[in-house]
Amino acid sequence: MAKTGDPAALLLPPPSPPPCYGVPASQIGDPYHEPPAYVLLPAYPVRRRRRGACRCCGSFLSASSLFISSILIASAIFFLWPSDPDIQVARLRLDRLRVSPPPNAAIDVSLGLQIRVRNQDFFALDYRSLAVSIGYRGRQLGIVTSDGEHVRARGVSYVDAELELDGIQVLNDAIYLIEDLARGFLPLDTVTEVKGKLRLFFFEVPVQGRISCAVNVNPETQSIIRQDCYPE
């Protein structure tokens, strides 16, 4: 190290200032150049998706699936649930009618019926028998029964029935019988009933159908004046 007052020390260059990292060398010691300013921005939290929305979507989809399933099940029950067969009188024919006035007060009648049985279900129908009865003023005069048949699913079957009654006394209704003969017609009523079983998969469900007809017949012309049928 050179001593003070040494002539060699005057020839040495002055010591350089310590280096300043990050600042250009041309700006060191320059008062007009300041180091660059830095702006600090606040950190914003990252928004995350709410799980509640997904839960709402899942609940909505579950409710929709449950609703559609309920509709499908209700529709299947509606179409597959067994119903009673549809019974109609296709044709009613009067073959013979004779009325004996009091004191005998008896009726001889012969009727021919064709019954239409329609199976409304998607399963086959086996009915055991078809019964047709005839009455006069609410009193049953007689009944006839025919054998049963097999009706395919959504099918139709026709059954013929002949009803013949000879000498059926109506002493309790003798007064009404005189009045009806004076008016020129005799009111009769028929009831047709079908009982059977519907094959539903491995089960047999009992079903039945019933229809009533009000018939006015003319003893003189041996014809039917009026016929009104309605299911029960």
CA distance 196 to 84: 9
> In this model, does residue 13 exceed pLDDT 90?
no
Alpha carbon 85 to its chain's center: 18
Higher pLDDT, 9 or 140: 140
Residue 5 domain flag: no
Segment 167-201, tens digit of pLDDT: 888 888 888 998 998 999 999 999 999 988 887 77
CA distance 114 to 131: 12
- What secondary structure letter does DSSP report for 138? T
What does the pLDDT read at residue 1?
47
Residue 190 domain flag: yes
Residue 42 domain flag: no
Residues 6+ apart with CB under 8 A from 77: none
Residue 115 domain flag: yes
Residue 132 domain flag: yes
Residue 222 domain flag: yes
> Tokens representing 137?
């003023």
Percent of the chain with pLDDT over 70: 66
CA distance 174 to 105: 6
| Residue-range definition of the domain harbouring residue 173 | 86-231
Question: Is this prediction's pTM over 0.85?
Answer: no
- The residue among 203, 207, 191, 192 whose CA lies nearest residue 85 is 207
CA distance 65 to 57: 12
148 CB neighbour count, 10 Å cutoff: 19
CA distance 96 to 77: 48
Number of domains in the chain: 1
Q: What is the CATH number of the domain that holds 164?
A: 2.60.40.10
- Highest mean pLDDT of the ranges 31-45, 142-156, 206-220: 206-220
Residue 43 domain flag: no
Residue 105 domain flag: yes
Segment 152-176, tens digit of pLDDT: 888 999 999 888 888 888 888 888 9
| CB 146 within 8 Å of CB 196 | no
